[in-house]
Amino acid sequence: MSILAHEAEILIVYDGNCRMCTVIADALARRSDLMTHIIAVPSQDLAEFSTVDLPMLRAHGELETLLSAEDFDANVVAVEVRRGATPVIYRGARAIGRLSQLLPGPWPLLGRILRTGRGQQVGEKVYGLVARNRPGCGPTCER
């Protein structure tokens, strides 16, 4: 149980069979701070969803009711809830855009670019290409 009262909680659901996805999700989870609590869970570990410590998100129901079967398949998904607000679900390139805003250096710029109309269109195409051809994924990825 969390003893800190965070302003926001973010759940990242990612492909645990993909090394690149795992490295990025782990780096993002380490970005938790006093304001934002971040937890990353591989989509293959559905049993872990019942133990995820995100009380503001849990107040909106079971995670399985917020996410579809597709969310547990090929996409990265970020579910964000701020105190007193309903959860916002980001999928694919939109999730990458939102999550990049949590990283240091030039990464927040990527998030801003992916929020523009043209940037969002290009982002979805690039995300689809990378998702289908994940570097370092190897034979464990089912594609």
Question: pLDDT of 96-107, one tens digit each?
Answer: 999 999 888 898
CA distance 77 to 9: 14
CA distance 103 to 61: 29
Domain ranges of the chain: 8-133
Instruction: Return the SS3 of 25.
Output: helix
Q: Dig out the tokens for 6 from the structure.
A: 């965070």
Residues of the chain with pLDDT under 50: 1-3, 140, 142-143
User: Is 31 in contact with 60 (CB distance < 8 Å)?
Assistant: no
pLDDT tens for 1-16 read 444 567 888 989 888 8
Determine the distance from the C-alpha atom of residue 43 to the mean position of all C-alpha atoms in its chain, rounded to a whole number.
Answer: 11
